[in-house]
Amino acid sequence: MKNAFIIMRKEFARFFKDPRLVLGTLILPGLLIFFVYTLLGSVFYEKEPSYTLKIVNPSASFAALFEEQDAYTLEEAEASQVEAIKGEIKEGKTDLLIVFPENFDAILVGGAYAPPGEEGSPNVEVWYDSAQMRSATAYNTVAGLLDTLEDMVSSRFDVNLSGGGDLSTKAEAEASYYAMLLPFLVLTFLFSGCLGIAPESIAGEKERGTIATLLVTPIRRSELVIGKICSLSVLSALSAISSFIGTFLAMPKLMGGNIGDMFAAYTAGDYLALFAVMLSAVLLIVCIISILSAYAKSVKEATAFAMPVMVVVMLLGLSSMIFGTVKNPAAFLIPAYNCVQMMSQIFSRALSPVCLVITLASNAVYIGLLVFALTKMFKSEKCMFNN
C-alpha cells in the first residue's frame, strides 16, 4: 500500500502543479455553467412569469382555487368574444380561454344537470395552443385545478368533451417539437465534428514538432490561420451535416408523419437561413477550439480544455427545451446561444429577419476577434513552442 500512496501522491502533484489542468478541469466547468445560466436567467427571462387567462361565465368555485396562483391573471370575457380570443391565443397575446356553462356554480351545488358523459351534461371548454410553451403550461395548471374541482363535486361536469381543446394543428405541434429538440442536436453534432478534427490540426502539429516547418514558410500568419479555420470548418460542417440529415429525416417517422410533409413545411428561405446559422456556428466553434489547441501542449490537453466548453454549448442547446423561443433581440448577441434560438425560430416556422441579421452580424464580429487572437498566438514563439 505504501507504493500505491506514492503513486497517488505523484499523480496528484502532477495534476495540481499544472495550472492549465486545474483551470480547465476543476474551475472552468462550474464557473462557465454558473455564468451562462445566471446571465440567461437574470437578463432575458421573467423571474416570475405571469399568465393571462380569459373566462366566459366566470365561476366563483373555480376562482377560489386560484387564490394561491399569483402568477395567473383571470379576465372576464363575453361569449361573443370567444373566436377573437382564440385568435389571441394563436398569436401568443392570451395564454388560455375557459368557457364555463351558464349557471355553472348552481349545477355544482346540486342543480339539475345531465350525468357526465351524456348528452346535455355540463361541459367546461378549455382552449389552448400546445405549440406555445406558455399556453401549454397554463393548460396543465388549469387542467389540474379542474380535476381537483371535479373530485370535490363528485364529477358533476365534463372538461373538453363536447367542445374546447388544442388550437394547434398537427403540423404546428410537430414544428414546436422540432424547435425544442433539433437545435440541441445540431449544436451537439457541430461541436462533436469540430472536436474530432480541430485539436489534431494545431495541437497535433505542435506535439509532433511539424508546426515549426509550417511557421517558417513564406506565408503570413493571418493567411495560415484563415486557411486552417476554413478547412477545419468545412470538414467539421460535413461531419455535422451528415449526422443532421440522418436525424432530420428520422424525425417525421418519430412523430408518425412523413418526410415529404416535413420538407414542404419549410420554405427555401428557411433552409438558407438554417445553412447560414449553422455555418456561423461551426466557424465560431472551430475558432474557439483552435485557440484552445494553440494554447495546449498536446492533443490530449487540447481536448481536456475543450470539455468545459462542450458542456456549456450543450447546456445552451438545451435552453430551447427549457425556456422555449425568446423574442428579446439582445439575446441574439450571445454567441452560440443566438444560434440555438435562431434554429428554434426556423424550426418553429417563426423566423425573424431582424434576429437573423443580429445573429449573423454579431457572430461575424466574434469570429473576426477570435481569428485576430489566434493570429497573435501563431506569432508568439512562447505559445507555439511552449517556451
Q: What is the pLDDT of residues 162-200, one digit of tens each?
A: 778 888 877 777 777 778 888 888 888 888 878 877 888
Band of pLDDT at residue 36, cut at 50, 70 and 90: low
Region 138-154: what's the mean pLDDT? 84
Band of pLDDT at residue 220, cut at 50, 70 and 90: confident
Cα separation, 380 vs 387, whole angstroms: 10
Count of C-beta atoms within a 10 Å radius of residue 10: 10
Q: What is the pLDDT of residue 152?
A: 81
Dump pLDDT digits (tens) for 255-301.
Answer: 555 666 666 677 888 888 888 898 888 889 888 988 888 888 888 88
Q: What is the pLDDT of residue 38?
A: 64
Q: What is the pLDDT of residue 354?
A: 92
3-state secondary structure of 272: helix
Band of pLDDT at residue 364, cut at 50, 70 and 90: very high
Torsions phi, psi of 237, nearest 5?
Answer: -65, -40
174 and 257 Cβ atoms separated by less than 8 Å:
yes
Residues paired with 126 in a beta bridge: 98
3-state secondary structure of 36: helix
298 and 377 Cβ atoms separated by less than 8 Å:
no
Rounded alpha-carbon distances, angstroms, from residue 162 to 125, 158, 276? 8, 8, 47
| Amino acid letter, residue 220 | R
Q: What is the pLDDT of residue 172?
A: 74
Q: What is the pLDDT of residue 35?
A: 64
Band of pLDDT at residue 376, cut at 50, 70 and 90: confident
- Residue 325 CB partners (closer than 8 Å, separation 6+): 179, 341, 344, 345, 348, 350
* DSSP secondary structure letter of residue 158: E
3-state secondary structure of 45: coil
DSSP state string for 111-157: ---PPTTSTT--EEEEEE-TTSHHHHHHHHHHHHHHHHHHHHTTS-S
* Higher per-residue confidence, 44 vs 262: 262
* Higher per-residue confidence, 158 vs 251: 158
* Higher per-residue confidence, 251 vs 179: 179
343 and 274 Cβ atoms separated by less than 8 Å:
yes
Whether 14 has a pLDDT exceeding 60, the answer reads yes
User: How far, rounded to the nearest angstrom, does the alpha carbon of residue 306 sit from its chain's CA centroid?
Assistant: 20
Q: What is the pLDDT of residue 323?
A: 66
High-pLDDT (> 90) share of the chain, %:
5
Q: What is the pLDDT of residue 358?
A: 94
Whose CA is closest to 327, among 344, 302, 313? 344
Whose CA is closest to 156, among 206, 106, 201? 106
Q: Describe the crossing of helices 268-295 and 170-208 by its angle, rounded to 10 degrees.
A: 30
Q: What is the pLDDT of residue 363?
A: 93
**Average pLDDT of the chain to the nearest whole number:** 78
* DSSP secondary structure letter of residue 332: G
Q: What is the pLDDT of residue 131?
A: 76
Dump pLDDT digits (tens) for 67-87.
Answer: 777 778 888 889 888 899 998
Residue 369 C-alpha cell reads as: 476577434
Cα separation, 282 vs 241, whole angstroms: 11
Band of pLDDT at residue 365, cut at 50, 70 and 90: very high
24 and 289 Cβ atoms separated by less than 8 Å:
no
Whose CA is closest to 45, among 378, 322, 231, 349? 322
Burial 102-138 (b: 16+ CB within 10 A, else e): eebeebbeeeebeebeeeebbbbbbbbbbbbbbbbbb
Torsions phi, psi of 261, nearest 5?
Answer: -65, -35
